[in-house]
Amino acid sequence: MITQEILGEKQVTLDSKGRFRIPTGLLKNLGERADLEFVVNRGFEKCLVMYPRPLWDQIRTELDKLNMYKKQNRAFVRYFYRGASELNPDSADRVNLPQQLIEYAGMEKDIVLAPMNGRIEIWAKAEYDLLLEEEPEDFSDLAEVVLGGGSTAEASDNE
């Protein structure tokens, strides 16, 4: 279980076998070494998302409550689970990403781990740099739209 908030972008290298080492600073915030287990899947943008198992299990429980008689729900669940794979760090704290997910995210060698809301987005460095270039001109306007209503429910309804 995550022991602390996980923060800080980390640049790491993907080896020829599709592995990267989880940085020590990130590992110490993820909990007991023996308990580390992750699930990785496609992100909503062109990235991957690595979920600590307890968070993945919470999300899976939410998805299990969706009405599967609705076409949109089936499509969302199908896409969300597409490519989902379990990851367990090896003795050198490396995880091995599935090749199909590496290809989906356009990853080659340099990748960025970007923690967010208890999960870790995994980006090709070039893609991540492009994302940062698209930063809104006025971040305060975006904050007002997303957070200004006083509740997160209102913010998510405006998406």
CATH of the domain at 68: 3.40.1550.20
Q: The pTM is what?
A: 0.83
Asked if 63 contacts 77 with a C-beta cutoff of 8 angstroms, the reply is yes
DSSP readout, 15-79? Answer: -TTSEEEPPHHHHHHH--GGG--EEEEE-SSSSEEEEEHHHHHHHHHHHHTS-TTSHHHHHHHHH
**Per the domain annotation, does 152 fall within a domain?**
no
**Per the domain annotation, does 1 fall within a domain?**
no
Q: What's the CA gap between 146 and 125, in Å, rounded? A: 27
pLDDT tens for 12-30 read 999 999 999 998 888 777 7
pLDDT of residue 2: 44
pLDDT of residue 5: 62
pLDDT tens for 77-95 read 999 999 999 999 999 999 9
**Per the domain annotation, does 46 fall within a domain?**
yes
Domain interval for residue 102? 10-134
Q: How many distinct structural domains can be found in the chain?
A: 1
**Per the domain annotation, does 22 fall within a domain?**
yes
pLDDT at 114 over 80: yes
